[in-house]
């Protein structure tokens, strides 16, 4: 799969991940280690909860979303390097859910101070097999530029310095 640099990305561009199936054993194992609440750990307790059944931790859904993005749902050169974001879980993730991530580029901003990179804002919706959104992640990502673009910007800077009569190339 081709990895995309800042120069390859445009507002409105979309990506779709592969899928993962979640089962109750994985939900309980994750919860036991990272989010040990009764509605993640015990089916009987979960039935008596506001969820009326076993549900995955939102952080488990976030981890699965990251896996789907890394495995090709966001083919970013240099990896998925977060610089901030916002996450919400409009519906719970349940045993048997098949998750897939649909992402859209909503902003691309080249860095003014670092010509080798820029920031890309991506909105990713994790959906189950019924099309229900179980997580929304809006993330700011640090994305590298292509080496040829970096060299071109360096040459532009040198030409501008010469035109301005500065010898500080």
Integer CA distances (angstroms), 133 to 61, 74, 89, 164, in order: 11, 18, 8, 54
pLDDT at residue 169, rounded to an integer: 41
Q: How far apart are CA 150 and CA 85, in angstroms?
A: 27
**pLDDT tens track, the chain, 169 positions:** 789 999 999 999 999 999 999 999 999 999 999 999 999 999 999 999 999 999 999 999 999 999 999 998 999 999 999 999 999 999 999 999 999 999 999 999 999 999 999 999 999 999 999 999 999 999 999 999 998 766 565 555 555 555 556 554 4
pLDDT at residue 147, rounded to an integer: 87
Selection from 82, 47, 89, 51 nearest residue 66 by Cα? 82
Question: 3-class SS at 106?
Answer: strand
The domain 6-163: what is its CATH number? 3.10.129.10
- Judge whether 139 and 82 are in contact, CB under 8 Å: yes
Full-model pTM: 0.86
């Amino acid at each position: 799969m081709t990895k995309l640099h800042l120069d390859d990305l445009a507002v409105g561009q979309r990506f779709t991940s592969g899928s993962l199936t979640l089962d109750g054993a994985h939900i309980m194992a994750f919860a036991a280690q990272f989010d040990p609440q009764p509605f993640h750990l015990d089916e009987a307790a979960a039935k008596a909860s506001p969820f009326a059944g076993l549900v995955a931790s939102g952080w488990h859904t976030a981890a699965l979303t990251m896996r789907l993005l890394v495995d090709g749902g966001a083919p970013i050169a240099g990896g998925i390097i977060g610089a901030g974001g916002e996450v919400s879980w409009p519906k719970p993730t349940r045993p048997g859910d098949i998750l897939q991530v649909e992402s859209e580029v909503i902003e691309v901003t080249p860095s003014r101070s670092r010509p080798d990179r820029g920031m890309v804002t991506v909105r990713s919706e994790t959906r189950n097999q019924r099309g229900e959104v179980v997580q929304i992640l809006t993330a700011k990502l640090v994305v590298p530029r292509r080496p040829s673009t970096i060299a071109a910007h360096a040459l532009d800077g040198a030409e501008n310095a010469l035109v301005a009569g500065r010898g500080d190339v």
